[in-house]
Amino acid sequence: MSIERLAPDLLSSAKVNVSDFFPLDYVESPALFKRGATYYLLTGSCCCACRGGSGLAVYTAASVRGPWALQAHSDINCAADAPLCGAFGARQVDRADLVFNAQWWSVSTIPLAGGGSAYILSGRRWLSGAGNDAGCDDMCNNDGRSMAPCVNAKYQLRDDFDVLYPLQFADDGSVLPLHPLPSFTLDLP
């Protein structure tokens, strides 16, 4: 994965790479945002809309062009100390170590009444809604089964549950690991 410049119409790539390639492989679902003077890139382990969820690695940089650094506790959705939970390949850590069984994909910046902003992480708990086949692990046939049990007339993607989580930051700007959070409130303007 790397970052490319958009074409002037903002609808396609200009095919100009503006960052180094990120070292973790088998990743998907990147989210890029800026907080203060720091850029953040969050990316999850490949799971292709999986029931088990994915890890969530954090990189930071002073410029979108880099250099990018993987933060010390790199996977904020993993209870274990690992580069990336649930990743395929040599660095794999069991998905049982995930804090939330969700696949993450975006960060929204929400202005708060007292000034400042909240950074809300959004994720999807795939195959969590009504009508899905309990034996199906993902929607991309990674488990060796046909997609038919996963995508049937009874199952609707809109029935799956979403997860919203307010990111928390340490004094040094690193993103703190996720922890079980039954609810949260925001004081909006």
**Per-residue model confidence (pLDDT) at position 63:** 93
Q: How many residues does the chain have?
A: 189
**pLDDT, position 89:** 46
The pTM score is: 0.86
Number of domains comprising the chain: 1
Residue 149: the pLDDT is: 52
Any domain includes 175: no
What is the amino acid identity at position 60?
T
Question: What 3-state class would DSSP assign to 14?
Answer: strand
CB contact at 8 A, 41 and 63: no
CB atoms within 10 A of CB 113: 9
Residue 56 falls inside a structural domain:
yes
pLDDT at site 180: 92
pLDDT at 123: 94
DSSP letter string, 23-62: S--SEEEEEEEEETTEEEEEEEEP-SS-SS---EEEEEES
Whether 187 is in a domain gets the answer no
25 located within any domain = yes
**Considering the domain boundaries, does residue 181 fall inside one?**
no
- 109 domain-assigned: yes
Give the domain range for residue 82.
4-166
Q: What is the pLDDT of residue 147?
A: 53
Q: How does pLDDT run along the chain (189 residues), one tens digit per residue? A: 888 899 999 999 999 988 877 888 778 889 999 999 999 999 988 877 888 888 899 999 999 988 999 998 889 998 877 777 775 544 455 567 889 989 998 999 999 999 999 999 999 998 888 887 777 777 775 554 545 556 666 777 788 899 999 999 999 999 999 999 989 999 999
For residue 84, what are its two tokens? 């990336």
Measure the CA–CA gap between 170 and 133, rounded to whole angstroms: 41
3-state DSSP of 100-152: CCCEEEEEEEEECCCCCEEEEEEEEECCCCCCCCCCCCCCCCCCCCCCCCCCC
In a domain, 177, yes or no: no
Residue 90's pLDDT is what?
Answer: 41
182 in any annotated domain? no
Q: In whole angstroms, how far apart are CA 68 and each of 18, 34, 37, 73, 128?
A: 12, 13, 14, 15, 34
